[in-house]
Structure 1
Amino acid sequence: MHLVPGLKVLYFGTPVVLISTVNADGTANLAPMSSAWWLGQSAMLGMGDRSRTAENLRRERECVLNLPSSGLVGAVDRIAMTTGRPDVPAAKAEQGYRYVADKFALGGLSAQTSDLVAPPRVAECLIQMECRVVRAHGFTGDLHATAYEIEVLRTHVDDSLLIPGTAHVDPLRWDPLIMKFTEFFGGGVNLHPSRLAQGWRMPALDHTGR
């Protein structure tokens, strides 16, 4: 029997992205997000308008989309409830967000120089996409969010993921970190307690299988 529960969020299952951008002072910002999808050599990213990442995208028009494997869940979770804005928005502060200037250091991640854009890549991510912003589409209503159309300029893939002799990623070797309803999954398994789920006051998971 289908019910109409009035779901608070609709994260049925999307890949986690570590998006790197450049701040106004030239330093790098890094933020996890999961409202992303791809078609051809383009991507669509959805994010709130008050974040430092959104501010950087509007100003610099460049980013790198770094795709963490499930093994990086701890690093992603460490930076999940942080913001690059020194003036933490009140709503985020109430959820438990805090300002962190160097989120690469907090996550234990290494910045790697990009080829075509200013934001750095995340060296530990096996897939990295250098991108530019093509256009932005504001959401209607009171969501205060924007969908960014992104052109992928160059994709870097670790050779361990490639089918030998081809330009194709082996889906059996690639285990992306997935977010489902603010919880981290990989290989269909809940991997790690989520600070984001706590901040959003989501119900605790029942691991008994019931």
Structure 2
Amino acid sequence: MTARAREALARAEVIVGYRTYIDLVATLIAGREVVVNGMTGEVDRCREAVERAAAGARVAVISSGDPGVYGMAGLVLEILAAHPRGREIPVTIIPGVTAATAAAAALGAPLMHDFAVISLSDRLTPWEVISRRLEMAAAADFVLVLYNPRSHGRPDHLGRAREIILKYRQPSTPVGVVRNAGRKGEVAWLRDLDTLLELPVDMVSTVIIGNSQTRVLDGRMVTPRGYRL
């Protein structure tokens, strides 16, 4: 969490968010009105936030990581654009630390060159689209960052993604997995593409798959930028 995010929470009169994220900041928002719901309630949650703001309240909508990376910022702006008073409601999007950079820091420096971030969740994006993006990004030798890699409802998506990537990468390609990146209980593993599926990957894990230049140096995952040493 950035200092600006903490300041926004301290100033907010109403806090709106997904239950898991509300629990993570519970000590920072004690005594304030909280609007909370579960997964799949994103639209209702953001509409409620806009209505509270339209009524004059200072509202904070919280997301995991950065609100503009698979977060609530875009949805709030869409709802504001359709609201009769949307142009009158000031909005500030406050950056946070997204899982890609938090996980990269835990692993070493795997994102020192071009990389692509792809979510494996097909709740809002068809798998056909996801698989094509994986194919193109792997063929282009991007370092790959995979969000939402595995859940109870889609236990096979990571394996399917791995099969696509193996068409363009060696099985020995370094892979890092970080669970709870930047949060209490953070744990990181370094493996390779061949053994990736042996790791306990779940929805709070971030997977970083190296490109053809990525190496493991003294236990740290590094993608060289190309500097002369």
Larger Rg: 2
Q: Is this a same-fold pair by TM over 0.5? A: no
Higher relative contact order (CA 8 A, sep 6+): 1
TM-score of the superposition, structure 1-length normalised?
A: 0.24
TM-score normalised over the length of structure 2:
0.23
1 or 2, which has the higher helix percentage?
2
